[in-house]
Amino acid sequence: MRHLRAWFVRIQGLFARNRRDREFAEELEAHLQLHVEDGIRSGLTPAEARRAAIIKLGGVEPTKESHRDRSGIPFLETLARDLAYATRMLRRNPGFAATVVLTLGLGIGATTAIFTVVNAVLLRPLPYPEPDRLVYIAMSFGEPGDHVFSYTMDYPAWKNHSRTLSQMAGYMRFQANFTGGGEAERITGAYATRSLFPLLGVQPMMGRTFTPEEDRPGGPPVAILSHAFWKRRFGGDPSVIGKALTLDANTYTVIGVLPATFLIPDREESNYDLWVPFAIGDTGKAKEILLQVIGRLKPGIGINAVRSDLEPLMQQFRRKRSVVVSDWHERVAGGARRPLLIFLCAVSFVLLIACVNVANLLLSRAAARDKEMAVRRALGAGKGRVLRQLLTESMLLGLLGGAVGLALAFWGKNLLIALISRNLPALDPIHLDYRVLAFNLGLGLLTGVAFGLAPALQASKVQLNESLKEAGRSAADGRSGHRLRNLLVVFEVTLAMVLLCGAGLLLKSFLRLRGIDPGYRSDRVLTLNVNLTFSQYPKPLEQTRFFQQAIARIGVLPGVEAVGAGTSIPLGGYSMSVSGMTIEGKPDTDVASSLVMVSPDYLRTLGIPLVLGRYFVDSDREGAPSVVMVNESFARRFFPGENCLGRRIQNPPRKTDWTIVGVVRDIRPWPQVAAAPEMYLCYLQAEQVHLRMSGGEMGSEMGLAIRTAGDPMNLAAAVRSQIAQIDKSQPVHDVKTLEERRAGLLAPRRVNMLLVVTFAALALILGSIGIYGVVSYSVGRRTHEIGVRMALGAHQGQILGMVLRNGLELIAAGVAIGLLASAGLTRLISSELWDVSATDPWTFAAVVTLLAASGFAACLLPAWRAARVDPTRALRYE
């Protein structure tokens, strides 16, 4: 207690310093005077009395000094003095200060920006109460990847009998056509059990959440709106509670609105438009309702206990599956960890290179300040004192760099987020919080020490005698300073090399992926999806009629070259797979293939080339023989070495009998996935080909592909209005060009690649600047020597070669170490690579060439300057 108080008083003592010093001097003076007067009173002469008093009381100055030290905090005062001095030094060298602060600011800014994302995704807990007790429960069949659960089968037993979870909830995404009040819209909602909102500790902003009656099969249809949806579709109507809305032609009553901050941290979807009770989906039919399950651990229960608790509760015949329990945050963010750590690694390399450059700059400057240091030492400053002052200077630089970096990160993070948000799970808005600020501050101090320590140590080792003599060569300028600078350059080249190799590999795999021929022509194609409300279009005939009308109307729009519809346009919609069919004459074959239903012009519109036979024609309609087209993979798989035209694909129990009339080229919608067998059916025959497997819904969900003469997006509005004219309650969604869809698929890789390539480019630039700096410094230092060499008959070419050789030796050393390091480190990104080995020799060779070329360029200018040295002037130089 008393110590604390004393410290508090000492901190106060930091202020009003001068007044206190003056007062203390007065006090001592009074003491002396009283002493002297007493002496006089006892019979001494004034002079004697004064002399005796001074002898007795001791030195005034040391007392003052110790008083000063004790009444304040000398450490802070020295720091303040050093800081003031450092500020003055920097102000006197604005060019130097700006270079250092900007270089560091760039490095720290990039690092801070990346850390901001790392913090938001990996470090910050989920935005719910007691987030560490939230678990995600999935199912495994023993193979990689997990699955969701059955609502009807597993969930009720678990919910009622679990001993390890205090709460449990399920939810599942769905899409539906929302109508009423303006344009029809395809919305994304979610089914949720009643327990979801209490489990997440969410209170509705308005109204209420589900009641037990609503969370039960056959319960009343109610809906809870998200804040954004309420604003967008209901204009933020405060009296929305109790109003009705229509989803897929069913009416729901609005019972609540969620707060704006509510979100579910999923990868694809963060803001569901609305929520309906889970039990509504449970119509009691055989169709299983699946759900994603989350739970809250009871206090004191470990995550591992949950599995053995839940597994015995699974229905007997389903026991071959196992339960996988994971931390919810880990489940959501885990996938983003590796790319984020790769970014953090890459960006810290850039920061290190920036530090190395600054260290080199400081080393050169230390040589120039040699004399200043020698004078300080000569005047009595200890080695530690000099070291401390220099470190104060470099930390000040580091902190200034940190401040610039923070500003950069603040502006840059939005750019970064716009770029990489697609790769991240939806979590809280990413912002700068105390952790980011602490990180930034720490980084500033750390870099200050990192780049300042070596030069400061170097400078504090100054040789007094040598430096004080005018012509003496200083220590920092001597052999050890030189070697340190060279080592730093080698280190820098090594870092740049590793980063460039990683970037090169990512770039190459991206180019490989992008270069894959998709098998269709993606230019000038507008695509969109229409999911007909099934209850309004339950029959394939009605579905087909709708799309026939759409195709006819769009086909006559000016600028449209061709229109096609298909259940799975490349990169969108869904594909259906069938199995259990056989081939006529090959009863043992099990035809497993994916299945797409298309309009006659679909394949032609997408530019998928015909290999054999014919495309569908308008006469392939109900009543005509059922026909099917297959792709090359199908033909190869099931008819190796045979002609498949005219062969029949059958499923006798279902009375299916399709004749193959054409073979088309494989398409490869997902570049990462190899082409597989595929069948195309003509949707004009939808009724007779009996697509019961989808409950008749298959033909209600179609994508349209429109090949246009000009920019496809120009037609978007016209196409929308044509479809609205057929039935305005059927929303059009995902209106994009085919190229956008394709690019969207590669976007995550593109972003990863771009970021790492950007960092590598920064590293290359900073590295080249570093090489340039060191070589030109050494040329400057050796001007005299070069002059002597030239006076003794060296050619310009020889001088040029000498300087270049020195620089290139450093680069070669860095490249050699960098190659080894890269070979070891690129393995860490092998999971991000595609069709490129982590030690791809071509990439490595290209990187070596690039580094060598830019290093050469960086050496060339100083070498050129050295070669043009005028010997007569150089000899006088020094």
Is residue 845 a contact point for another protein (CB under 8 A)?
A: no
Nearer CB in complex with another protein: 16/30 = 30
Helix (H), strand (E) counts: the chain: 26, 22
CB of 7 vs another protein, minimal distance in Å: 8
CB of 339 vs another protein, minimal distance in Å: 56
Q: Which stretch binds another protein (CB under 8 A): 2-10, 674-682, 745-753, 837-845?
A: 2-10
3 state SS of 185: strand
| Residues in contact with another protein, shown as a per-residue x/- string from 112 to 151 under the rule CB under 8 A | ----------------------------------------
3 state SS of 671: coil
CB of 78 vs another protein, minimal distance in Å: 20
Helix residue spans in 579-619 (DSSP H): 602-605
Q: Mind spelling out the 3-state secondary structure of 214-276?
A: CCCCCCCCEEEECHHHHHHHHCCCCCCCCCEEEECCEEEEEEEECCCCCCCCCCCCCCCCEEE
Q: Which stretch binds another protein (CB under 8 A): 33-41, 271-279, 509-517, 799-807?
A: 33-41
Segment holding 437, helix H or strand E? helix 434-460
Q: Give the residue carrying structure tokens 């080339």.
A: 609
Is residue 30 a contact point for another protein (CB under 8 A)?
A: yes
Is residue 713 a contact point for another protein (CB under 8 A)?
A: no
CB of 30 vs another protein, minimal distance in Å: 4
CB of 80 vs another protein, minimal distance in Å: 21
Could you say which of 17, 22, 23, 618 contacts another protein (CB under 8 A)?
23
Closest CA to 428 of 633, 663, 263: 263
3 state SS of 799: helix
Could you say which of 15, 22, 26, 552 contacts another protein (CB under 8 A)?
26
Q: Which stretch binds another protein (CB under 8 A): 1-9, 326-334, 371-379, 786-794?
A: 1-9
Is residue 2 a contact point for another protein (CB under 8 A)?
A: yes
Nearer CB in complex with another protein: 10/604 = 10
CB of 9 vs another protein, minimal distance in Å: 4
| Residues in contact with another protein, shown as a per-residue x/- string from 44 to 83 under the rule CB under 8 A | ------------xxxxx-xx--xx--xx------------
CB of 47 vs another protein, minimal distance in Å: 19
Nearer CB in complex with another protein: 62/380 = 62
List strand residue ranges (DSSP E) for 676-721, in order: 678-682, 701-708
CA 862 to chain centre: 40
Nearer CB in complex with another protein: 17/337 = 17
Nearer CB in complex with another protein: 70/431 = 70
- Asked if residues 94 and 401 have their Cβ atoms less than 8 Å apart, the reply is no
Distance CA 169, CA 210 (A): 13
Distance CA 747, CA 754 (A): 10
Nearer CB in complex with another protein: 62/242 = 62
Q: Which stretch binds another protein (CB under 8 A): 28-36, 164-172, 320-328, 629-637?
A: 28-36
3 state SS of 537: coil
CB atoms within 10 A of CB 583: 18
Q: Which stretch binds another protein (CB under 8 A): 27-35, 499-507, 586-594, 629-637?
A: 27-35
Q: Distances from the Cα of 143 to the Cαs of 1, 102, 147, 312, 672, in angstroms? A: 63, 51, 10, 20, 20
Nearer CB in complex with another protein: 71/536 = 71
Nearer CB in complex with another protein: 2/285 = 2
Nearer CB in complex with another protein: 36/525 = 36
CB of 45 vs another protein, minimal distance in Å: 18
Could you say which of 22, 25, 33, 624 contacts another protein (CB under 8 A)?
33
Is residue 10 a contact point for another protein (CB under 8 A)?
A: yes
Alpha-carbon Rg of the chain, whole angstroms? 38
Nearer CB in complex with another protein: 61/268 = 61
Tokens (6 digits) for 330 = 């880990």
CB of 23 vs another protein, minimal distance in Å: 7
Distance CA 330, CA 425 (A): 11
3 state SS of 874: helix
Nearer CB in complex with another protein: 51/208 = 51
Is residue 19 a contact point for another protein (CB under 8 A)?
A: no
Nearer CB in complex with another protein: 2/91 = 2
CB of 297 vs another protein, minimal distance in Å: 51
- DSSP string for 69-123: HHHS-HHHHHHHHHHHHHHHHHHH-HHHHHHHHHHHHHHHHHHHHHHHHHIIIII
CB of 58 vs another protein, minimal distance in Å: 4
Segment holding 577, helix H or strand E? strand 576-583
Could you say which of 37, 213, 590, 835 contacts another protein (CB under 8 A)?
37
CB of 71 vs another protein, minimal distance in Å: 6
Could you say which of 25, 34, 244, 378 contacts another protein (CB under 8 A)?
34
Q: Give the residue carrying structure tokens 């967008």.
A: 232
The sign one gets for the Cα dihedral 15, 21, 24, 26 is: negative
Strands 290-297 and 134-140: antiparallel
Nearer CB in complex with another protein: 31/545 = 31
Residues 6+ positions from 871 with CB-CB distance below 8 Å: 787, 788, 790, 791
Tokens (6 digits) for 676 = 């597989």
Is residue 22 a contact point for another protein (CB under 8 A)?
A: no
Q: Which stretch binds another protein (CB under 8 A): 23-31, 342-350, 519-527, 820-828?
A: 23-31
CB of 20 vs another protein, minimal distance in Å: 10
Could you say which of 5, 19, 285, 692 contacts another protein (CB under 8 A)?
5
Q: Mind spelling out the 3-state secondary structure of 805-858?
A: HHHHHHHHHHHHHHHHHHHHHHHHHHHHCCCCCCCCHHHHHHHHHHHHHHHHHH
Nearer CB in complex with another protein: 71/421 = 71
Amino acid at 639: F
Q: Which stretch binds another protein (CB under 8 A): 29-37, 388-396, 672-680, 704-712?
A: 29-37
Strands 701-708 and 560-566: antiparallel
Is residue 311 a contact point for another protein (CB under 8 A)?
A: no
Q: Distances from the Cα of 860 to the Cαs of 213, 770, 828, 867, in angstroms? A: 81, 13, 36, 10
- Binding-site size for another protein (CB under 8 A) equals 28
Q: Give the residue carrying structure tokens 């220099």.
A: 390
3 state SS of 734: strand
Is residue 9 a contact point for another protein (CB under 8 A)?
A: yes
Q: Which stretch binds another protein (CB under 8 A): 3-11, 369-377, 424-432, 826-834?
A: 3-11
Nearer CB in complex with another protein: 31/383 = 31
> Helices 370-378 and 383-420, interaxial angle, to 10°?
140
- Asked if residues 840 and 508 have their Cβ atoms less than 8 Å apart, the reply is yes
Helix residue spans in 325-382 (DSSP H): 328-368, 370-378
Applying CB under 8 A, which residues contact another protein? 2, 5-6, 9-10, 23-24, 26-28, 30-31, 33-35, 37-38, 56-60, 62-63, 66-67, 70-71
